[in-house]
Every structure is written in C-alpha cells, then in structure tokens.
C-alpha cells in the first residue's frame, strides 16, 4: 500500500511539473507581434532579437560556392536587414497593409503563426504562415515571407 501511494504521488508530481513546464512558454503570436512592430519602427536591434538571421540567410545561400560563402553571407544578411528597415520593400509593403495575426499552432519547440496582409489601397489579401522555434526562453522567427531578396 505504501509503495502504491508513493507511485501515485510520484506520477502526479511528474504530471504537474510536465504540464506546468509545457504551458510556461510564451505565446508565439506575441513574438510575431514584436517582429511586426520592429519592422514598423525600423528597429534593427529588435529584428535581430526576433529573427534567426543566420538560418534565414543560409537558406537563401544554398548553392553558393564555398569560396564566396562568407562574403555572400554578410551581404545577404545586410540585404535582409535593409529589406525589413528604412525603405525596404518588405517594410514598405507591411506598412501599407493591415496586418492580421491569426491563430498559432505549437508542437514541441516549433510553432507556426498565421499572418494575413490586407493591402490598404486595393484590399488584396496575402496569407502566410511564419515558422518559429523556441530557444533560450523566446520564440525566434526562422521562416517569413519577404517581398524581395
């Protein structure tokens, strides 16, 4: 009887710790909102916090010869930041749109967040899903739709 009681207590303890730790993650929608605000404010520091720049740039550099990879990497990284700040095409497009953040779906340390851009001048909708992963207590966007690059 005593062992059964210990087993039941241990089971519930593990269950509650697991439930609490899994639900302790912030909502990825909030991090997407922060990303959109960083683009709106042309805040490079906040963009670097919200995005996994290295992963995004590396995905765009697949097929680049290795001898050109470092120079290409640094150039593409700056192009990405330029696209999301100042008069960059993506920033201008997002600022000319009503941005609607939809539902999120979390599976382990990965998430997707639905985002719809509605052009303020013509009403055309553009739907996408941003991909995020959870690392160091924060969601990082690694997959987003850009206007040019």
The confidence score (pLDDT) of residue 24 equals 74
The confidence score (pLDDT) of residue 20 equals 47
pLDDT at 88 over 50: yes
pLDDT at 149 over 80: no
Q: Which domains can be identified in the chain, with CATH numbers? A: 27-143 (3.10.450.50)
User: Cα(22)–Cα(58) distance, rounded to whole angstroms?
Assistant: 30
Cα–Cα distance list, 131 to 8, 9, 47, 144 (Å) = 39, 38, 15, 7
pLDDT at 31 over 90: yes
- The answer to whether 57 and 77 are in contact (CB under 8 A) is yes
């Amino acid at each position: 009887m005593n062992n059964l009681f210990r087993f039941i207590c241990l089971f519930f303890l593990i269950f509650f710790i697991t439930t609490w730790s899994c639900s302790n993650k912030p909502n990825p929608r909030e991090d997407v909102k922060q990303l959109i605000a960083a683009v709106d404010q042309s805040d490079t520091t906040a963009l670097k916090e919200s995005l996994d720049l290295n992963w995004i740039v590396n995905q765009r550099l697949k097929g680049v010869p290795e001898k050109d990879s470092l120079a290409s990497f640094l150039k593409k990284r700056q192009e990405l930041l330029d696209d999301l700040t100042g008069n960059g095409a993506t920033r201008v497009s997002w600022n000319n749109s009503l941005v609607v953040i939809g539902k999120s779906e979390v599976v382990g340390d990965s998430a997707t967040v639905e985002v719809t851009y509605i052009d303020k001048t013509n009403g055309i909708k553009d739907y996408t899903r941003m991909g995020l992963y959870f690392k160091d207590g924060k969601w990082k966007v690694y997959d987003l739709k850009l206007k040019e690059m």
